Amino acid sequence: MPKIPFWIFIIIAIVYFTSVRVDTMDVDASQYAEMSREMMKSGDYLHLYDRGLDYLDKPPFLFWVTATSMKLFGTTNFGYKLPSILAALWAIFATYKLATRLYDKKTGKIAALILATCQGMFLWTNDIRCDTMLMCWVTTAFWLIQEWIENRKIHYFLLGCGSIALGMMTKGPLALMVPVFGFMSNWVLKRDWKQFMRIEYLLGILVIAILLIPMSIGLYTQFDLHPEKLVNGHKNTSGLRFFYWSQSFGRITGESPWKNGADISFLMLNMLWSFLPWIFIFIIALIRNGVLLVKQKFLLTKEQEWISTGGFLLTYLCLGMSAYQLPHYIFVVFPLSAIVTAVYIKELIDGKIPVKLANFLKYFQATIMLLLLFAMNLLIQFSFPASPIVVFTGVASTLAWLFIVFYKKFSAKLVWLSASGMILINLFLTNQVYFSLLKYQIGNQLGIFVKENIVSRKMLAKEMITYKMHDPMNAFPFYGDVIIDNTDTITYITNKKYVITMDDGLQDLEKHGYKHATLFQGSCFKVSELSPEFLNPKTRHKEVKNYYLIAISK
């Protein structure tokens, strides 16, 4: 079996860090960036605000660390993205440590490489979400608690509980539930009942409760003490109840108003792209584990583990029962998916998988990678044309990859072919495709222009307004360093000096006698909702809309 050297993870880290060239993406990542900027600027780390308004949705940990990072490195892409990139790298390390504990170092390295090179990891270091940090803390908790189970050193357990608390401060009670799902399913299937009765759990609960105090104080003082506040259309909103119950469990019980009609298959269908190129091997490994468990009459041997498979399955079922789901919700158990996949791949390489199935998987995996590389070249040559040197590099590296495919000892290169292909693909996606794509996002383009070109900034919040804007502008206050009002009513334009609007708004202003000078204009598209027509340069004009920054007078 080929060795996996440390330097490949250095290359992956470099690709992750190139994402700082790419501006924040609407809607969530830009919103979180602006909230972190506001926190950093105000110095209030207990309460959350979104463009000056009370915010009750996500816990504060992401905003705490990104606000701190911005204070150190400035209100920049680097300052905002650095904590999430570091969290992704730590999650890879924690996955290695957990898989090594459950199996061996070779399995640990394969699992780490699988997680590091799945498409979701590359995307979420560009499009920042809370889920990357949640995954980091949950995986760390798994690793440290497993260390404690094996050698009974209490500091591992306490640090694991601390990781759970940090995960809860990142995205709620799910950070506690996922480790519970993993370890409890393992103990039940091994009939290891004594694990349920350990006195140390009381100490762990105390550690978690103490660490949650600052966040709980912030929720209580911002919302519970102010029942008169209107939050999501309702008064008498308890921040504590929302965080500890409604936001997570309320989506299952029906208490939460959030619903999008997603069913039990939603998350798996989205894993078909977010866990590429490993998803098909993972599905086979998952089914194999389930069949084996049934054959063993739901009784594991001492050498087997169900932490990874059980943790994934129970978390998936829990999330799949929610009335509101988004693709990145399942990201928290990607490290467990990577371990399940790594075990199967190691068996495949070691010749423990039936020959016909092994050969099929090798060539099927190579075909998947070839299609992905072809799509990447299509994007940099046709959809978002790159410079000749970039295009040449893309073609040449793809041909080099193909040469390796047909070179001898192909079976030993299964992991290398997939991992190297994904690194290559995302190097071009980040630095060419995403970079070009963000030029069609209103908020960052206008925000940068305003910050660099409008000198009189003291009164800018009162002098500027958006009028009849139909596309999100979450990135604007982060890049423009100013929060402005929005209106669809023409009378609110009075006494304004600058207006941001689109075609129908511009026509309406002209109709009401406003004269204007165009300071900046561009074409926009919701970059999170790509369509074939937009990706085709010949039909792109039909999909984009025009926006303007104008100086007005009457």
Q: What would the pLDDT profile of 287-309 be if each residue is shown by its tens digit?
A: 999 999 999 999 999 889 999 99
Question: What residue spans of 275-411 are helical by DSSP H?
Answer: 279-295, 307-320, 334-349, 355-378, 388-405
pLDDT value at 1 more than 60: no
23 pairs with which residues across the strands?
A: none
Region 118-138 average pLDDT: 94
Would you state the pLDDT for residue 123? 92
Would you state the pLDDT for residue 27? 84
Would you state the pLDDT for residue 366? 87
* Minimum mean pLDDT range among 147-161, 179-193, 224-238, 383-397: 224-238
**Using one digit for the tens of pLDDT, what is the confidence trace for 454-469?**
867 678 888 899 999 8
Question: What residue spans of 486-540 are helical by DSSP H?
Answer: 503-511, 532-535
When the pLDDT of each residue in the chain is averaged and rounded to a whole number, the result is 91
Element (H, E) at 548: strand 545-553
Region 153-165 average pLDDT: 96
Would you state the pLDDT for residue 424? 93
Tell how strand 49-50 and strand 545-553 pair up: unpaired
**Using one digit for the tens of pLDDT, what is the confidence trace for 388-439?**
999 999 999 989 888 877 775 655 578 888 999 999 999 999 999 999 999 9
Region 347-362 average pLDDT: 87
Residue with tokens 């330097």: 7
Region 198-216 average pLDDT: 95
Task: Provide CB contacts within 8 A for 506, sequence distance 6+.
Answer: 516, 548, 550
520 pairs with which residues across the strands?
A: 549
pLDDT value at 246 more than 60: yes
* Separation CA 540–CA 515 (nearest Å): 30
Would you state the pLDDT for residue 220? 93
pLDDT value at 3 more than 80: no
Region 45-50 average pLDDT: 94
Cβ atoms of residues 119 and 134 within 8 Å:
no
